[in-house]
Amino acid sequence: MSWAWLDSLRETIGQPQFTLLFAPAAKFLVAIVVILLIIAYLVFVERRLLGFLQVRLGPNRVGPWGLLQPIADILKLLIKEDTIPNRAVRWAYLLAPCLVVAPAFVIFSVVPFGPSPNAPGAPRWYVTDLDAAIIFVVALASLGIYGIILGGWSSNNKFSLLGGLRSAAQMVSYEVPQGLALVGPLMLAGSMSLVGIVESQAQRGLWFAVPQIVAFFIYFVAGVAETNRNPFDLPEAESELVAGFHTEYSGVRFALFFLGEYANMIVISAIAVTVFLGGWLRPFPSIEALAFLDLIPGAVWFFLKVFAFLFLFIWFRGTFPRFRFDQLMALGWKWLIPLALANLMVTGLLVVLLNGRT
Amino acid sequence: MNGNAPTGEPLFGLREMELNFGPQHPATHGVMRLKLKVDGERIVDCYPIIGYLHRGTEKLFELHPFFQNVPHTDRLDYVAAATNNLAYVGAVEKLVGLVVPPRARYIRVILAELQRISSHLVWLATHAIDIGAMTPFFYCFRERELILDLFEQYCGARLTLNSMRPGGQPYDLPQGWVERCGEFIAEFPAKVDEYEDLLTENRIWKRRTVGIGVLPPETAIAYGVTGPMLRGSGVDWDLRKALPYEAYGEVEFDVPVFHNCDTYDRYLVRIEEMRQSARIIRQCLDRLPDGPIMAKRPRVLKAAAATEAYHAVEGPKGELGFYIVGDGSTNPYRCHVRPTSFMNLQALPEMSRGALISDLVALIGTVDIVLGEIDR
Amino acid sequence: MSALKQFLDRLLLLDLFAGLAVTGRHLFRRKVTVQYPEDRLEPADRFRGMLRLDSERCIKCTLCARDCPLDIIYIDWHQETNPETGKKEKVLDRFDIDIQRCMFCGLCEEACPTEPKSIWLTTKTYELASYDRWQNLYVTMEQLESWRVRPSYTDEEVA
C-alpha cells in the first residue's frame, strides 16, 4: 500500500498558493455552514420566543424541547411539490430566490468574527479583509432587492406583484439612510475596512454606538426595514397580501426565500455589531477593571451581541403593528434621511475641529 | 348589476386593476368577496359580494316551533350567540305575551354582557392582527377562554349556547358560578388596561387608525348603521338606554360616544364598552333576585293568527332585531332577522373610496362583520 | 409642562417602549398552553357532549324526536304483550341518530320526561374523532347505549 499520495497532498497543502487560494474558500465554507445552522435554529428560536411573548409555548414536540423542529421543517420543505404557476415568467421565477440568498451569504466573507492576532501566517477570524468592505456590504445588500422584485413580478399574481413593488420601493428607500448612517463611524475610524473599524474602536476603547448613537438608531431602524421585518413587513403582510411576493412559491424555493430573509437579519445584525458595537470587543474596552472579561474569547462576544440584536428583531415582531406603506416611505424619506444627514454634518464638523484629539 | 361604476375617465388610457379580495382571504373575517378597483394601491371602488354563507336560516325558522328555533339563532352571529338568543326570545315573548320573571331577566343581562365582552375581545384580537400586532390576539383569547368556561358551566356549550327559552331560562345558575364570574370581573379591567398599554398610545397604531374610514353621522344614520360604528361617529344612540329591555333599566352604566368618526374612535368606543359591561355585570351579580326562572307558560306555545312583533337588542355590533309574524300555529309564519353586520357593511364602500388597501383591512376590522349574520 | 412632557414622550419613543414592556413582562409569566393529550381540561358538569341512551328507562314517548330542531332522531316502537306479566308494553325497535347533522343543542335531553333522563348529553365526551369516516355518520341504538369513552390515543386503537 503506497501512501505516496498522502505525502504529495501534504506537500501541496504546505505550498503558499494553497494558503492564498484554498484557505479562504475553506473558511468561507465553514462560515456558511455555521451561518446556515444559526439560521435554522434562529427560525426555531423565533417561533419559541414569539410564543413566549404571546403567553403560549412555541413548538416543543419534535425532539427534546422541540430542538429537532428545524430539521423536520427542512425535510418537509424539501419533499414538497415544486409548483410553477402556469403563465409565470420561468427564468425570473427560478432566479429570484437565488438572488435573495446569495448576496446575504457573500457579505459574511468580510465580517470579522474575532480578533486577528498580529503574527503573520496565523489564521484570521475573517475570510478576507477588503479595503472598501463597507461599500462592498452596501452594494451586495442592494442586490437582494432584485430577487424580491423578480419574484413578485414573475408569479403572475396580482397580490405578488403588489408585494414585490412595495418591497422594492421600501428597500430602495431605506438603503439611503442605512448607507448614510454607516458613514458616521467611517469618519471616526478613518478606514472603510470592517477590520479597521473594529481596530479603531479597540484603539479608542469606545464602541462607536456611544458617540454615534443617532446613527446607530437610524442604522437599526433602516436594517429592520431592509429585511422586511415587523413593523415594516408590509411586503409580506399576511392579512393584506396573503404572503406578498412569495405567495406562489413552495417547497425548496420558498425555503430559499425564508433562508434569505433570516440571513439578511443576521447580516444586518453582524454589520451593526461590527460597526457600532465593537465587533469582538468586550463591553467598555477602555476600563481596565473589566479586563477579566477578556477571558471570554472575542468570537463569543461577537455572537452574543448578534444574538442580542436578533432578540430585538423578534421582540419587535411580537409587539408592534405594521406601518402602512406611505407612512413607511414618509418615515424613511422625511425623517431618517434628514436625521442621517444631520448626523453626518455634525460628525464631520467635530472630526475636523478636534482633528488632533480624535 | 354594475355596482362598480368607474369614477371618471381613465388618464392616458390607463386601466385600473381589478382585484378580488376574498372569498378566501385571511382578513375578510369569513367568506366575503370584495371586488376592488384599484389604481396602484388606492381603491377607486369597492363592491362587496356576499351570500357565500347563506344557509336558509329564515326558512328554517318557519319549519319548527318557537322554542326549537333557539339553537338556529346561535349560528347567526356566531361570535355573540347569547345576543341572538336574547333578541329572538324577546320577540317571541312580545308576540305571545309572556312576562319573564326578574331573576331570569338579570341572568339574561349577565349572559348578554359577558357575550358583549367576548365579542369585543374577538374584535380586538382580529383587528389588531390585521393591522399587524400579533400579540393582542393571544392575550384577548386568553381572557375569552375564561368567559367561555363560564358559559360552559352555565349552559353546557361554549359558542353555540342555546341558553335562553321563550319565557325565561332553562337552567338556574350552578353552584359557585356567581363567585367565579365575580372573580373574572374583578380582574378584567386590569387586562383591558394591558391591551390599552399595547395599542392606544402606540404611534404606529394611531397612524393606522386615526383619520381612517371617516363616517359622518348623517351618512351613518342614512345607511342604518348602528352600534359602536354609530357611537364612534358622535351619535348617542344605544338601545339599552333608549328603549330599555330585560334588566337594563335597573342598572347604571355609561354609553361611550366619541366624535371624530374614524377608526381610532370606534376602537376607543369598544374598549370603553368592555369596561362598562364589566360594571353592569358587577351590579347584576350583586343584585341578583331570587325566584323562578321560567314564566308560567303553556306547554305548547302558539301565537294568535295575524300577529306580529319586532324586538331589537343592542348587540356588540349594533342593533339586532327579530321580526316574527304569527299565524295561529306553533311555528312562526315568517321570522325575519334585522342583521347588524349587513347594515353596517353598507358603509364600507363609502368609507373605503380613496383609501389604500392596507386601510381596507383596517376598515373591515372596524366594521366588525360576522358573515353568519350577513348571509344568514 | 404637559406639552413638554408630551414632546419628550414622542421624541424618546416612550409609547413604543411601553408596548415592549408589556410583551417583555409576558416572557416571564406562566404560559397558558395545555399540553394536549398529556394534560387535558375537564369539561364542566353541564357540558353537552356525545349522546347516550338508556333504552330500559325510555318510555318511548317520542318527545325527543318531536323536539329535535333538525329532525334527526328516528324512533320505531311497537306494542307487544309481555309473556311474564301479561301486560302490554312498548318495545323499542329503533332509536337512531343521524350524528353527522347533530348540533348537540340538548333539546332532546330537555324534552325527555323520565327521571333520570333516558337520553342525555352530559357525558363530558367530545373526542369523537375516528380513523374511519363511516363510524361518524349514523349511530344506532346499540352504539348509543354502549359506546366507550375514547381512551387516550397513546393507548391501543379503539375499534
| Sequence ranges of the domains in chain A | 82-357
Give burial (CB, 10 Å; 0-12/13-18/19+) of B34.
buried
What's residue B13's pLDDT? 52
Question: Could you tell me what percent of chain C has a pLDDT over 90?
Answer: 0
Tell me which of C136 and B312 has the higher pLDDT: B312
Residue A95 reports pLDDT greater than 70: yes
List subunits contacting chain A, requiring 3 or more Cβ pairs under 8 Å.
Answer: B, C
CB of B202 less than 8 A from some CB of C: yes
Tell me which of B94 and A156 has the higher pLDDT: B94
What's residue A243's pLDDT? 63
Distance from CA of B139 to the nearest CA of C (A): 10
Which of these, A5, A19, A2, A351, lies nearest to A186 by C-alpha position? A351
Q: How confident is the model at residue C122 (pLDDT cuts 50, 70, 90)?
A: confident
* Average pLDDT for A308-337: 89
Dist CA A211 CA A214 (whole Å): 8
CB-CB contact of B89 with B165 (8 Å): yes
Domain boundaries, chain B: 57-375
Considering only CB atoms, B198 lies closest to which of C19, C103, C105, namely C19
Domains of chain C: 52-158 (3.30.70.3270)
What mean pLDDT, rounded, does chain C reach? 81
Could you report the per-residue pLDDT of A223-251, keeping only the tens digit for each? 999 888 888 887 766 545 556 777 788 88
* Average pLDDT for A14-33: 77
What residue in B sits closest to C108 (Cα-Cα)? B68
Residue A350 reports pLDDT greater than 80: yes
* Average pLDDT for C59-70: 89
* Average pLDDT for A123-136: 81
What's residue A127's pLDDT? 76
- Identify any residues that bridge with C120 across adjacent strands, giving them in sequence order: C52
Tell me which of A358 and C5 has the higher pLDDT: C5
What residue in A sits closest to B143 (Cα-Cα)? A55
Considering only CB atoms, B26 lies closest to which of A50, A54, A242, namely A242
Residues of C in contact with A52 (CB under 8 A): 26-27, 31
Dist CA A38 CA A60 (whole Å): 18
A160: three-class secondary structure by DSSP: helix
Dist CA A144 CA A149 (whole Å): 9
Residue B315 φ/ψ, nearest 5 degrees = -85, 175
Q: Is C27's CB within 8 Å of A52's CB?
A: yes
What's residue B115's pLDDT? 93
Distance from CA of C19 to the nearest CA of B (A): 4
List subunits contacting chain C, requiring 3 or more Cβ pairs under 8 Å.
Answer: A, B
Q: In the β-sheet with B42-49, what is the strand arrangement from edge to edge?
A: B17-21, B33-39, B42-49
CA A211 vs CA A139, A182, A271, A350: distances in Å: 26, 13, 17, 11
Q: Is A322's CB within 8 Å of B361's CB?
A: no
Identity of the residue numbered B202 = N
Considering only CB atoms, A325 lies closest to which of B41, B134, B202, namely B41
pTM: 0.88
Could you report the per-residue pLDDT of C11-54, keeping only the tens digit for each? 778 888 888 888 888 888 888 888 887 788 888 888 888 888 88
CB of B170 less than 8 A from some CB of C: yes
Q: Which CATH architecture has domain B57-375?
A: Orthogonal Bundle (1.10)
Tell me which of A6 and C102 has the higher pLDDT: C102
CB-CB contact of B198 with B136 (8 Å): yes
Under 8 Å CB pairs connecting chains B and C tally to: 69
Question: Could you tell me what percent of chain A has a pLDDT over 70?
Answer: 91
Contact residues for B222 (Cβ-Cβ < 8 A; gap 6+): none
C50: three-class secondary structure by DSSP: coil
CB of C37 less than 8 A from some CB of A: no
Cell of A93: 421565477
CB-CB contact of B371 with B359 (8 Å): no
- Per-residue pLDDT tens listing for chain B (376 residues): 334 445 555 555 566 778 787 777 766 678 888 888 888 778 888 888 888 889 999 999 999 998 889 999 988 888 999 999 999 999 999 988 889 999 999 999 999 999 999 999 999 999 988 888 888 999 999 999 999 999 999 988 898 888 899 988 988 889 899 999 999 999 999 999 999 888 888 888 888 888 888 989 999 999 999 999 999 998 899 999 988 888 888 898 999 999 888 899 999 999 999 999 999 999 999 999 988 988 888 878 888 888 899 999 999 999 999 999 988 888 899 999 999 999 999 999 988 888 887 888 888 888 888 888 888 8
Measured in whole angstroms, the distance separating CA C21 from the mean position of its chain's CA atoms is 40
Q: B18, B135, B194: best mutation site toward chain A, by most A Cβ within 10 Å?
A: B135
List subunits contacting chain B, requiring 3 or more Cβ pairs under 8 Å.
Answer: A, C
Considering only CB atoms, C19 lies closest to which of B153, B157, B202, namely B202
Identity of the residue numbered A78 = L
Measured in whole angstroms, the distance separating CA A320 from the mean position of its chain's CA atoms is 21
Distance from CA of B162 to the nearest CA of C (A): 7
CB of C34 less than 8 A from some CB of A: no
* Average pLDDT for C89-107: 86
Residue A249 φ/ψ, nearest 5 degrees = -90, 145
Residue A294 reports pLDDT greater than 60: yes
Which of these, B158, B206, B146, B207, lies nearest to B182 by C-alpha position? B146
What's residue C115's pLDDT? 84
What residue in B sits closest to C42 (Cα-Cα)? B149
Most confident of A121-130, B196-205, C133-142: B196-205
Considering only CB atoms, A55 lies closest to which of C20, C29, C35, namely C29
Distance from CA of A45 to the nearest CA of B (A): 17
Contact residues for B102 (Cβ-Cβ < 8 A; gap 6+): B247, B289, B291
Could you report the per-residue pLDDT of C107-121, keeping only the tens digit for each? 998 888 988 888 888
H or E segment at B319?
strand B319-327
Residues of A in contact with C35 (CB under 8 A): 57
Q: Is C26's CB within 8 Å of A57's CB?
A: no
What's residue A110's pLDDT? 85
What's residue C159's pLDDT? 37
Locus of grid cell 360552559: B152
Residues of A in contact with B134 (CB under 8 A): 50, 54, 317-318
